[in-house]
Amino acid sequence: MLDLAVEAHELARAKTGTEIPGVVVERENFPYATVTTVRVETEEAEKIMQKPRGSYITIDAPAMRENSRKVHQQVVELLAQKLALLLQNLQLPEEASVLVVGLGNWHATPDALGPRTVDYTLVTRHLHRYAPQELRGRMREVSALAPGVLGITGIETAEIIRGVVEKIKPHVIITVDALAAWNVERITTSIQLADTGISPGSGIGNDRTGINQSTMGIPVIAIGVPTVVHAAFIAQDAMERLWQELNKNPNLRQVYKFLHPELVQHVTDNLLAPFGGRLMVTPKEIDALIQNIARILAGGIGAALHPGIPAEEFSLYLG
């Protein structure tokens, strides 16, 4: 299953050759980003897309890879705008409290985006009891948690989160997680927001208990950024491009006819067999990329949850 709804939609359209019934797609263009909103509205669309009904907002900003404060701030503001829209759609009370959950393994850099984002998140639950009224009026009550992964704790992540939810009773959960992409160009350049929750590990074939309204009892908004790509997708993409080049050359079209997709799939499966077909690829500079993306996500989450703090002041509250 593909983590990104926009990629799942592209793949489904390629297979059927038509628009997917029950799926609505809207696009917005900005000087530094493109925003694609995919809404899955029917049961039939759920089955085709392999995505639960809901809204999926993808911010594509290739310039996020650049070490530019100006660009990063623009993405922070756009992320805050889209997250605030999803929160508004939930019709939460004005004083609603929020639990931010950083999913992933802090010992594995490509999977450490969630915990790193929690490191930079402005948490205020402990301040609300003691802070002056003027400060509380500018800040929403926010708590944060990085529960680790099953292999470290021996406890299902969903069980830990559910226990915390039952104790502190937030109104909504915002999860942050690293995703797996189909296209290498999306690594650390796309941000997906979804009002459907998340199934940790689904993108790498390691499904765990879902974190959603059904399992948590409260709404869950999921934020994710691709940090890895399946090696199989890279191999398949390379072969598709080779086919296109062969088909353009009259002298090589005969070779093209013998390169059946089934043959390519067989070769790819054999190549990745030592890794169980689950070899993942990530850039060598992933450490710096995760650091930058974590700050962007924390900034966007903070700006959406604490609108009383002016944007020019918000950086003062980040670690």
Condensed to tens digits (0 to 9), the pLDDT of residues 45-102 reads: 999 999 999 999 999 999 998 888 888 999 999 999 999 999 999 998 878 999 999 9
What are the contacts of 161-164 at 24+ separation with CB within 8 A? 161/99, 161/101, 161/211, 161/216, 162/215, 162/216, 162/217, 164/99
In a shared domain, residues 158 and 212: yes
- Closest Cα partner for 112 from 10, 201, 227? 227
Domains in the chain: how many in total? Answer: 2
151, part of any domain: yes
Does the residue 166 lie in any domain? Answer: yes
Q: Which two tokens stand for residue 277?
A: 């077909």
pLDDT in tens, 14-30: 887 888 999 999 999 99
Q: Tell me, yes or no, whether 216 and 246 share the same domain.
A: no
Q: Is residue 180 domain-shared with residue 223, that is, in the same domain?
A: yes
Does any domain span residue 175? yes
| 134 and 183 fall within a common domain | yes
Which CATH number characterizes residue 161's domain? 3.40.50.1450
Are 258 and 308 in a shared domain? Answer: no
Residues 154 and 293 in one domain: yes
Identify the domain containing residue 254 by its residue range.
235-274
Q: What is the pTM of this model?
A: 0.86
Residues 214 and 240 in one domain: no
What is the rounded distance in angstroms from the CA atom of residue 117 to the CA atom of residue 122? 10
Q: Are residues 88 and 152 in the same domain?
A: yes
pLDDT at 301: 95
End-to-end, the C-alpha distance of the chain in Å comes to: 35
Q: Are residues 150 and 265 in the same domain?
A: no
Asked, for residue 99, whether it belongs to a domain, the answer is yes
Q: Are residues 108 and 198 in the same domain?
A: yes
The residue among 202 and 172 whose pLDDT is bigger is 172
